[in-house]
Structure 1
Amino acid sequence: MAPAGKALGFYNKANDWFCNAGLPSDFTIVIDGVNFHLHKFPLLSRSGKIEKLIKETQNNDEGTCFITLEEVPGDTEGFLVAVKFCYGVHVELTPKNVVMVYCLADYLEMIDVYGDDNLFSKAERYFHKNVLKNWKDCMVALETCENFVKRADDLQIICKCLNAMSAMVCTDSSLFGWPMMMYGRLQSPGGSILWNGIDTGARIQSLESDWWFDDASRLGVGLFERFTKALEAKGIQPEKLTGAIMYYCGKFLHGLGRWQDGPVTKTKSIANFNSKSGTIDQRLLLETVVQLLPQTKGKSVCRFLLGLLRVGLILGVNDKCQESLERRIGMQLNLATLDGLMIPSYSDSDTLYNTDCVERIINYFCTCEETGSITILSKDVSKLVDSFMAEIASDVNLKPDKLYALAQALPEVSRSLTDGLYRALDLYFEAHPWLPEKEKEQLCHAIDCKKLSVDACAHVSQNKRLPLRFVLQVLFFEQIHMKTALTDYLNMLNTESTPTGSMAIGSTMASRIDGWVSLVRENKGLRVEMERLTARVHELEAELGKMRQQIKRIS
């Protein structure tokens, strides 16, 4: 008891704390070099741990008992709260200290067995009735859990906070007017905001679906992972979860900003607490995020995945993470953009761009679309791949087999026209004038001559960079196309006896063969050149035969 007229309190001198109860101390507790000179009875009646330690102490005959406590939740500041409670001093619980008091009461075994309405039950009751019903308080409580994660986990404090927050996120705010607890009792039954008990008429603004993104991004990687899993268990929409993960990565994953639809803007925070700025393991974050991402598709998602892949290659993520990213991108390759596929080669490779990575993505796309409508999606993908090949063609260190593998990665049915593929190879030949004729011919095997347009055929006939055999092949198919078109036209004219039918068919077929007729006129002068080249080929073959016979004779 304190002296008459004086309130009970505690004061410190250097590293010693004393109680002004007016009685000499018979009990000392040491925590981190700080001595608490206390009295046995108040603590024995509330703490099971201290009661056991006093019984185990062997120096009771000296009159003063010394006990050392280690790993006390909250250290000396937290223990002082428990001491005040044992002495009957009022302890105010807040969202910032309730987790510390909760863990401290558990550590000191301050349960109802050692006194009714003990500190543990008070903290537990406040936590469930106040903290878990308010988003802001849950966030503050989670922040304070960083100092004693293990004990908070054992008491399921973190789990309960995350579950409560996930329930708030998944609740339709338009139906329930959530979050009502943010305004406490300052809300009328009609839903308007009250000021000093007066209805202001102002309505609570409904929150957007991403109102919680910024607050969730304040969680550490481990807590954010657990939070996303709790959201999945509550049945959150995959698109919302993907958006939250993209926002989180945009804040903490360096080099990812340009691969999102827009700059990461800091939205209004509901919690508004000061998060500790710590260094996040970039590689761990990326590998964790890839495991958490739902199977969603979209242009923004595909671009985000391509950005993750770039950053992952720089950080050197594990093979499982890289494979998962490539597979996800392959599943929606038709939504990718050219600049997204231009992935630099960060390894010791001589090439500027990572063609192996792009080839694997294309293979995943083909595997994914085997059971689907590959002809529809592959047309967009084939244009994308052809553009990619045209962009990398100027790389002097790009090997012909790498370019050929990219050209053959897509099935033949994916290209209705091979003009884009021809353009890419032509640019490659222009950037690699030293390429042997044999390797050029091998690359040209990837082009289906029958699918070249009229303009492409005209360009081929005048292109000196192409191998001779390929030019002759294109001109040969050009002749076949012209003969087929003319034959079909004449046959249809013969089958129709009425003049009206002939005129209708004539107008239809005229448009079909217009292109070929114009090409014939343009290439009229090239026919002689083609015959000359053909004769030259025969001469070269004859000379080659003679040389082989001479070699046989010499050998």
Structure 2
Amino acid sequence: MALAWDLEVHVNGEGVFYVNREILCSFSGRLSKLLTNESSTSGTKPLKAFFHDLPGGAEAFELFTRFCYNNGRIQITPINICILHFIAHSMEVTGVDSSRSLIKQVEKSVDNIDYWSWPEILSSLKQCQKISALHDSSLILDRVLDSLVTRISTRSEASPLSSSPESSVFRSSFDTGSNTSAKNSHNRAWWFEDLVILNSEMMNNVVNKMISQKLEHVKISKFLFYYVKSKSNDEKGKVIEIVVNLLDSLNRSSLSCKALFDLLRVSMSQDMSNCCRERLEKMIGSQIDQASLDNLLISSPDRNDSLYDVNILLRFLRHFLISGGRTSLPRLKKVAGLLDLYMAEVAPDVFLKHSKFVKLVTALPDSARDSHDPLYRSIDMYLQVHNRLNEEEKMKICSAINYEKLCLESCKHLTQNWKFPSRTAVKALLFQQSKLKSLLHESNHFKSLNDDGRQSKEGDQIVLFAKKLDPMMGNEKLRTHLQGMQGRVLELEKACKKMQNQMTKMMRSKTTTSTSSRSLPRLCS
């Protein structure tokens, strides 16, 4: 008597199925070809077949056997449609006609995807996620992704009419365990929490579909940042690599600078590739003008080197200039303001090397700053803390100062600042007297001052005095000459103040005269 089953099928090491060879081969082209050359059994010993990479594993093969034993009929639902699709292709269940072709039945069923509910779409997507052959192209997966993204783009920011029970449970547990989630609830769309349950590979597929369907990049970037925050520490490493690649494909204007810095700080505790880290730093650097001082103060990986990571800031600045930041003067000036604040913070750091500080003060072009007063104050602080630098090292730092962009008060302070090299004091004095002379010349309508050549002579004496200074002379002798120059500048400053007082008195006199004349009665003609 023939056995009711004559084929033993082992599936992915997950399970063994005892089936009728004839029934299954009548539907499966793959099994039919596999067993063609096998000798027929005498009924005493069944044949064996082994599958090691069957998509969907034992669960999928069980659905396939039910289809075969039910003469090519099975209920297709959003929950099992993906797994049926993959097993149908793997087992080559094409059939002679459409009634016996599982592939065609599945394709016909997916045409009704527009009538699926949101929870059914999510269930189908999660079913696809379980299948090991997910990387293979799939009509069903593509249709599910299309439907998912279409609903996201057409629905309002409010929650959909029907939500997934599973995602609701997840939402409740996630919000309870995360204060960040509760605080940022107003920043997320209704679909964020439903999609954070996806693994990184499926999330990558979903976001790429969003990009291809031109979903707003701002929404996509917010979801990606939220997705990273939702993952546990042991998941973040792989997730960040994928998220950074996806963010890099979005418009830079859609990315939050603060969120990028948050991502950077998380990534520092993960094992990221150099390529991924550089890509993230480029994204940050391209919009560093949107950062805050707190964003820039990143702890140094080596505290013996410096308190803050100066190297990463220098890389940000380089990426900013390369990305076109140099051509936008308002953005460039904003970055310079941030850099000045940063230097004021790091200048007192006793571990900050001279070479690093030189790179900081020379990182931006001169056009980035209208005033060099903040730069001078940072250099002053650095020289005060690092008082063992030689003259050459000090000059490298001071070479960044544009004395024409120092106010009179800063110039005056520098000339009396013995922490600075003597040669910088000479330059400061020259620019100080030049500014004072300019103020005097602007008031040339005061004839009494123009006729008195004393001020010009004082200025000329300072220039001549400076030309006599030899850069190689000893410090003490040079200081003595500088004191003489400072005295002459003070005299010029007094003359300037005297002139300004006279101008003020004259303007008041004019105002009084003008008021009096307007108050006179008009004569009759």
Note the C-alpha offset of 1:53.
4.9
Match of 2:225 in 1: 246
After TM superposition, the structure 1 = structure 2 runs for residues 89-100 of structure 1, keeping only pairs within 5 Å, are 91-100=74-83
The reply to whether residue 138 of structure 1 matches residue 121 of structure 2 is: yes
Note the C-alpha offset of 1:420.
0.8
Q: Which amino acid aligns with 2:80?
A: N
Higher mean alpha-carbon deviation, 53-62 vs 390-399, is at 53-62
Report Cα offsets for 1:207-238 as digits up to 9, x if no partner: 99822222332222222222222111111222
Cα distance in 2, alignment partners of residues 99 and 236 from structure 1: 25
Secondary structure of residue in 2 paired with 1:83: helix
User: Taking structure 1 as reference, are residues 295 and 170 closer, same or farther at Cα in structure 2, changes over 3 Å only?
Assistant: same
Note the C-alpha offset of 1:418.
0.8
Match of 1:443 in 2: 397
Report Cα offsets for 1:348-380 as digits up to 9, x if no partner: 972233323222322332343467332x22222
Match of 2:181 in 1: none
Report Cα offsets for 1:507-541 as digits up to 9, x if no partner: xxxxxxxxxxxxxxxxxxxxxxxx9xx99999847
Q: Which amino acid aligns with 2:220?
A: L
Note the C-alpha offset of 1:253.
7.6
User: Taking structure 1 as reference, are residues 253 and 443 closer, same or farther at Cα in structure 2, changes over 3 Å only?
Assistant: farther
Report Cα offsets for 1:385-437 as digits up to 9, x if no partner: 11111211122222222212211111112111111101111111122122223
The reply to whether residue 492 of structure 1 matches residue 445 of structure 2 is: yes
Higher mean alpha-carbon deviation, 225-234 vs 358-367, is at 358-367
After TM superposition, the structure 1 = structure 2 runs for residues 197-276 of structure 1, keeping only pairs within 5 Å, are 210-252=189-231
| From 159, 163, 168, the counterpart of 2:146 | 163
The reply to whether residue 70 of structure 1 matches residue 26 of structure 2 is: no
Q: Is the 8 A contact 1:45 1:114 kept in 2?
A: no
Secondary structure of residue in 2 paired with 1:30: strand
User: Taking structure 1 as reference, are residues 107 and 416 closer, same or farther at Cα in structure 2, changes over 3 Å only?
Assistant: closer
Cα distance in 2, alignment partners of residues 58 and 51 from structure 1: 13
Match of 1:30 in 2: 9
Cα distance in 2, alignment partners of residues 428 and 34 from structure 1: 72
Q: Which amino acid aligns with 1:360?
A: R
After TM superposition, the structure 1 = structure 2 runs for residues 21-420 of structure 1, keeping only pairs within 5 Å, are 25-31=4-10, 32=13, 36-39=17-20, 42-53=23-34, 55-62=36-43, 65-71=46-52, 72-88=54-70, 91-113=74-96, 116-130=99-113, 133-150=116-133, 153-171=136-154, 173=156, 210-252=189-231, 279-280=234-235, 282=237, 284-293=238-247, 294-297=250-253, 301-315=256-270, 317-346=272-301, 350-369=305-324, 372-374=327-329, 376-420=330-374
**Percent identity of equivalent pairs:** 27
User: Taking structure 1 as reference, are residues 154 and 58 closer, same or farther at Cα in structure 2, changes over 3 Å only?
Assistant: farther
Note the C-alpha offset of 1:50.
4.3
Q: Is the 8 A contact 1:245 1:289 kept in 2?
A: yes
Note the C-alpha offset of 1:77.
4.3
Q: Is the 8 A contact 1:132 1:160 kept in 2?
A: no
Q: Which amino acid aligns with 1:221?
A: S
Q: Which amino acid aligns with 2:295?
A: G
Cα distance in 2, alignment partners of residues 80 and 222 from structure 1: 26
User: Taking structure 1 as reference, are residues 373 and 433 closer, same or farther at Cα in structure 2, changes over 3 Å only?
Assistant: same
Secondary structure of residue in 1 paired with 2:131: helix
With normalisation by structure 1, the TM-score equals 0.67
Report Cα offsets for 1:179-225 as digits up to 9, x if no partner: 67879xxxxxxxxxxxxxxxxxxxxxxx9982222233222222222
CA-atom RMSD, angstroms? 3.9
Secondary structure of residue in 2 paired with 1:67: strand
Note the C-alpha offset of 1:482.
1.8
Q: Is the 8 A contact 1:341 1:388 kept in 2?
A: yes
User: Taking structure 1 as reference, are residues 98 and 337 closer, same or farther at Cα in structure 2, changes over 3 Å only?
Assistant: same
Match of 1:264 in 2: none
Note the C-alpha offset of 1:337.
1.0
Q: Is the 8 A contact 1:450 1:477 kept in 2?
A: yes
Cα distance in 2, alignment partners of residues 141 and 67 from structure 1: 32
Q: Is the 8 A contact 1:132 1:164 kept in 2?
A: no
Note the C-alpha offset of 1:347.
5.6
User: Taking structure 1 as reference, are residues 74 and 488 closer, same or farther at Cα in structure 2, changes over 3 Å only?
Assistant: closer
Q: Is the 8 A contact 1:326 1:361 kept in 2?
A: yes
Cα distance in 2, alignment partners of residues 23 and 453 from structure 1: 106
Cα distance in 1, alignment partners of residues 298 and 209 from structure 2: 34
Q: Which runs of 5+ in 2 are unaligned?
A: 165-185, 449-464, 479-525
With normalisation by structure 2, the TM-score equals 0.70
Aligned residues, how many?
433
Note the C-alpha offset of 1:440.
2.1
Q: Which amino acid aligns with 1:79?
A: F
User: Taking structure 1 as reference, are residues 209 and 285 closer, same or farther at Cα in structure 2, changes over 3 Å only?
Assistant: closer
User: Taking structure 1 as reference, are residues 431 and 97 closer, same or farther at Cα in structure 2, changes over 3 Å only?
Assistant: same
Cα distance in 1, alignment partners of residues 232 and 61 from structure 2: 39
Secondary structure of residue in 1 paired with 2:352: coil
Cα distance in 2, alignment partners of residues 153 and 342 from structure 1: 45
Secondary structure of residue in 1 paired with 2:445: helix
Secondary structure of residue in 2 paired with 1:109: coil
Q: Is the 8 A contact 1:26 1:64 kept in 2?
A: no
Higher mean alpha-carbon deviation, 347-356 vs 332-341, is at 347-356
Note the C-alpha offset of 1:287.
3.2
Q: Which amino acid aligns with 2:276?
A: C
Secondary structure of residue in 2 paired with 1:492: coil
Q: Which amino acid aligns with 1:484?
A: S
Match of 1:13 in 2: none
Q: Is the 8 A contact 1:26 1:37 kept in 2?
A: yes
User: Taking structure 1 as reference, are residues 470 and 312 closer, same or farther at Cα in structure 2, changes over 3 Å only?
Assistant: same
Match of 1:467 in 2: 421
